[in-house]
Chain A
């Protein structure tokens, strides 16, 4: 496979994951806003925008935080390069680039998604449409993953695509956790206080983990349990441990297909060792923020190494 094509597949799935993650965040924000008074709702949207990493762009454009402005910014604002509409455009563009390395079914799913999402986001999204729109976007992601799982050859292309998914997902979950922790828990003494359970509930919702967490923890919401769940529980498909275990398999498969290991495999092994040996108490001891920063840096280094190992760029 061409290095450029591998790059296309990798980024196609990174952008898809990014769009889906933004949609999940929005979903959680909308739910939160519905249950709050206006003043708290404003705070809530500020926090959603901050969590999505789009604060600077937003504040350059808007002086205040209202729901309508916030979700339109995240969904379709032209000046926002991370908006969902532009993500779907990039997904499709990369799919076109890698057109002969993906199945017809997957291409059609991606192309149809683009048409549907573009249509839905062609006009500002009002209160009566926003939930539907977010649901459509989430279905679009599901459709693409389904088409891929059911039709794509398990060759290197598949593993580049999956690697893109898990790199992006791990990065997103780590950032969400870090921003929430930083914003809401300036000191450890707050951990467990009842004030922030609503906020932590939103964290779980924004990674679609609320139901799974409650199922496993019988409704006990505390920051420590949630962090353990999102970082170390390898049963949950969006936890850092799960992402890295999946990524490890993809990278091992790539090394097998190419007959040799590269820098990415070595970095992956290091990252594994660090994560496996840790308990949640040790993570809190070293500082959650410090841990998450380290994790994000190592995650990016792996992504970089994949790109070099497999000659993504000339």
Chain B
């Protein structure tokens, strides 16, 4: 990893030469009328509004629907790069799944002294109810999003693992639909791998994890907190595309030892629940007693093996950033191989030496809360004022276990379309991975998030980030 101010640009080399993956695209781009492109750019937003691809934001009194800004320059990955990435992702995801099984059974990794036990005790996502239980098919992490960043030609790093309920896949699909509608000719010139069968793959992968008592075609339902949830659009979209039911907690109840949904002709058993509700709201009898989003008794049915919950309760442990810092060991422990995709170097503030280093170098580092997400509660040292750094320092000193620190990465850039033409912005990548008993399935592409503000390294949509269509080229 280099700490210099030079960033790796994915489209062009430092002398301006276009990289091979972007050759066809750039040739096409140079032949375009800029005025027409500007018009198309504003049309894209109208298209998203029309199809209703929005996320809800809560303001003062009423919910507002916003669009995540879409940039029309694709992010392109060549076939060779993608092959290397998928090998690394497969390895990491199979390690994650084995890790979850071990954590809730014999905890060999703790016994072997490779993971401190306190990391589990202090982890809110750890669920004692899962101990000794194996989910149908042995699958814990049915859907995983691995956040990757790039710093050089062959330098990809894993920034985060999202094994709880990774979101954003609807943007991967709709960004592609929008690009195909706007620039059909591009897809005739460039050999782009299709992403559109993701919902079919998801349905198949979930069905393959159905419990043994399931008869005939497994009944799959998407469980949503409801229309006011920020990701409701995605829940409805996936249910629609999979041909699955979209259920809320109030549609479900336990009937004769099964989880069943209230249909127009009575209660009907559900085999697989793709839940987009957090663990603590799943079952008011087991977790949060005030939850109205969940289903009383669902955990008992789950533990009797009569329903599949995807992802399995308790997988949030993997999203913890202190656990993340042990991922290289975790991968090696379960696969017997060196990790193909490296972690970003991480200092755990819980360790005294690391804490000292972090406090001495706050101006250079990115500090994150162990349980944080969405780009909240973090410090980007180089982009922060003395005052902000000072305030953050006291927070760390007060509760060092709650923080980890990483070097400020030289994230790669990819151009976005601006009024003045193309301009480089920092990007990351979230490929979506499906796990079933006999297969790990990675859709070629994923969600590219882009920091729209010049120089910004924060790509989260809640912090002014946008998205791009992500192309994986065919060989």
Identify the A interface with B (CB < 8 A): 1-6, 93, 96-97, 99-100, 104, 107-108, 111-112, 115, 156, 258, 310-311, 314
Contact = CB atoms under 8 A, between A and B. Distances in A.
B265 A4 contact: no
Interface in B302-354: none
Contacts of B286: none
Contact of A2 (B51, B232, B262): B262
B44 interface: no
Nearest to B247: A2
B263 A2 contact: yes
6 contacts: A99-B236, A100-B244, A258-B264, A310-B265, A311-B265, A314-B250
Q: Among the interface residues B52, B232, B244, which one has the most CB atoms of the partner chain A within 10 A?
A: B52
Contacts of B52: 96, 107-108, 111
Given A100-B236, A108-B50, A258 B265 contact: yes
B266 interface: yes
Contact of A314 (B50, B232, B245, B262): B262
Contacts of B237: 99
A100 B222 CA distance: 11
Contacts of B236: 96, 99-100
Nearest to A6: B264
Contacts of A107: 52
Contacts of B49: 115
B108 interface: no
A2 to B, nearest CB: 5
Of listed A93, A97, A156, residue having the most chain B CB within 10 A: A97
A5 B263 CA distance: 9
Nearest to A109: B50
Nearest to B53: A111
A162 to B, nearest CB: 15
A311 B262 contact: yes
B124 interface: no
Contacts, number: 62
B56 to A, nearest CB: 11
A93 B233 CA distance: 12
B261 A2 contact: yes
A107 B264 CA distance: 22
Interface in B219-262: 227, 232, 236-237, 239-240, 244-248, 250-251, 261-262
Nearest to A7: B264
A107 B245 CA distance: 17
A100 B239 contact: yes
Given A97-B227, A108-B50, A115-B49, A310 B264 contact: yes
A1 B247 CA distance: 10
B263 A311 contact: yes
Contacts of B248: 4
A4 B251 contact: yes
Nearest to B52: A111
A-B pairs, 6 with minimum CB distance:
A99-B236, A100-B240, A310-B264, A100-B239, A111-B52, A3-B262
Contacts of B247: 2
Contacts of A5: 245-246
B51 A111 contact: yes
B259 to A, nearest CB: 14
Contact of B264 (A1, A97, A108): A1
Nearest to B222: A100
Nearest to A258: B265
A3 B263 contact: yes
B248 to A, nearest CB: 7
A293 B142 CA distance: 57
Given A3-B263, A310-B264, A311-B262, A112 B50 contact: yes
Contacts of B251: 2-4, 314
Contacts of B250: 4, 314
Given A6-B264, A111-B51, A311-B266, 6 more contacts: A2-B251, A3-B262, A99-B246, A258-B265, A310-B265, A314-B251
Nearest to B54: A111
Given A1-B264, A3-B263, A311-B263, A111 B239 contact: no
Contacts of B262: 2-4, 311, 314
A111 B236 CA distance: 14
Nearest to A112: B50
Contacts of A115: 49-50
B266 A111 contact: no
A111 B246 CA distance: 19
Contacts of A258: 264-265
A202 to B, nearest CB: 37
Interface string B14-28: 000000000000000
A112 B245 CA distance: 25
A311 B248 CA distance: 15
A166 to B, nearest CB: 18
Among A1, A4, A314, the one with the most B-chain Cβ atoms within 10 Å of its Cβ is A4
Contacts of A4: 248, 250-251, 262
Interface in B112-126: none
B240 A311 contact: no
A112 B47 CA distance: 10
Nearest to B245: A2
